[in-house]
């Protein structure tokens, strides 16, 4: 594995869904674009997409998504939102090479996540694209309302992503993450397992850290030295 990119999964990243609110996330889109540009510049032969879902499950690269439920004029499917957004970001970046899609169960324990990461790290040189939101309880108006623990939790994740700190990601408290509606937790731990298995020295860059709508959105890239 050569590189990894972390992005959030809000459907509003897709301008056709955001409609009149599309400009509100321009900075986030630009950060995702920059992170993917850095990751793809490493020269991967394939891209592996990982995001939280109901089950741990591989998906066909062309699996139908559920965007019809959000107003998009297309047939409805059951691809998890995390992978739908990740695939959209990848296509936006211009990648047309091999890709594989994998969901990790929202309730998966850290060791299960790390094991999947180790499995996915093998094979031809890859870019791992991980999608998932931080806490959805950052403000009173957030989807999960305010939880005073949310800001510190997100700050810890942001620091781990900035430093490519595998240990810190693997030590994230799954129960706390669930309380805080931090959907990205299992996917971040897949990332940690993949990087641990790949070995070598990794450098992290945090491209974005904000909480519009009361939901934490983190964007990062990790490059193998």
pLDDT tens figures, 171-222: 999 999 999 999 999 999 999 999 999 999 999 999 999 999 999 999 999 9
Residues 66/77, Cβ–Cβ less than 8 Å: yes
Show Cβ contacts of residue 147 under 8 Å, excluding neighbours closer than 6 positions.
Answer: 135, 137, 179, 180
- Res 22 pLDDT > 80: no
Lowest mean pLDDT among 61-70, 89-98, 110-119: 61-70
Q: Is 140 helix (H, G, I), strand (E, B) or coil?
A: coil
In the chain, where are the structural domains located?
A: 3-224
Using DSSP, state whether 224 is helix, strand or coil: strand
- 47-84: buried (b, 16+ CB within 10 Å) or exposed (e) per residue? bbbbbbbeebeebeeeeebbbeeeebeeeeeebbbbbb
Average pLDDT for the chain: 94
Q: What is the CATH class of 3-224? A: alpha beta
Is residue 75 very low, low, confident or very high in pLDDT (cuts 50, 70, 90)?
A: low
Structure tokens at 135: 């806490």
Q: Token digits for 212?
A: 């519009």
The pLDDT of residue 190: 99
Give residue 17's pLDDT band: very low, low, confident or very high (50, 70, 90): confident
Per-residue model confidence as pLDDT tens digits over 47-73: 999 999 999 999 999 998 866 555 555
Give which of 225, 146, 175, 210 is closest to 7, Cα–Cα. Answer: 210
| Whether pLDDT at 89 is above 60 | yes
What are residue 129's phi and psi, to 5 degrees? -105, 115
CB 53 within 8 A of CB 103: yes
The pLDDT-based confidence of 77 (bands split at 50, 70, 90) is: confident
Asked if residue 151 has pLDDT above 70, the reply is: yes
Cα separation, 116 vs 120, in Å, equals 6
Which residues make beta-bridge pairs with 144? none
- Is the pTM higher than 0.85? The answer reads yes
Share of the chain above pLDDT 70, in %: 93
- Mean pLDDT over residues 129-135, rounded? 99
Nearest to residue 219, comparing CAs of 150, 88, 141, 129?
129
pLDDT on residue 71 = 52
Q: How far apart (Å, rounded) are the C-alpha atoms in residues 10 and 142?
A: 13
């Amino acid at each position: 594995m050569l590189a990894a990119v972390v992005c959030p999964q809000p459907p509003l990243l897709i301008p056709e869904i955001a409609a009149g609110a599309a400009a509100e996330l321009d900075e986030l889109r630009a950060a995702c674009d920059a992170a993917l540009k850095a990751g793809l510049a490493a020269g991967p032969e394939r891209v592996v997409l990982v995001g939280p879902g109901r089950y741990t499950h591989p998906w066909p690269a062309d699996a139908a998504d559920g965007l019809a439920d959000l107003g998009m004029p297309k047939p409805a499917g059951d691809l998890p939102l995390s992978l739908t957004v990740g695939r959209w970001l990848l296509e936006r970046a211009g990648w047309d090479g091999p890709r594989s899609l994998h969901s990790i169960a929202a309730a998966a324990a850290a060791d299960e996540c790390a094991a999947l990461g180790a499995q996915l790290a093998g094979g031809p040189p890859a870019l791992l694209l991980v999608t998932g939101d931080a806490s959805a309880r950052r403000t009173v108006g957030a989807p999960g309302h305010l939880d005073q623990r949310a800001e510190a939790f997100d700050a810890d994740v942001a620091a781990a992503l900035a430093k490519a700190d595998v240990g810190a990601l693997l030590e994230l408290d799954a129960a706390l993450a669930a309380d805080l509606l931090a959907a990205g937790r299992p996917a971040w731990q897949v990332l940690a397992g993949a990087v641990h298995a790949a070995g070598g020295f990794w450098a992290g860059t945090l491209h974005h850290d904000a909480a519009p709508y009361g939901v934490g959105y983190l964007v990062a890239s990790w490059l193998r030295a």
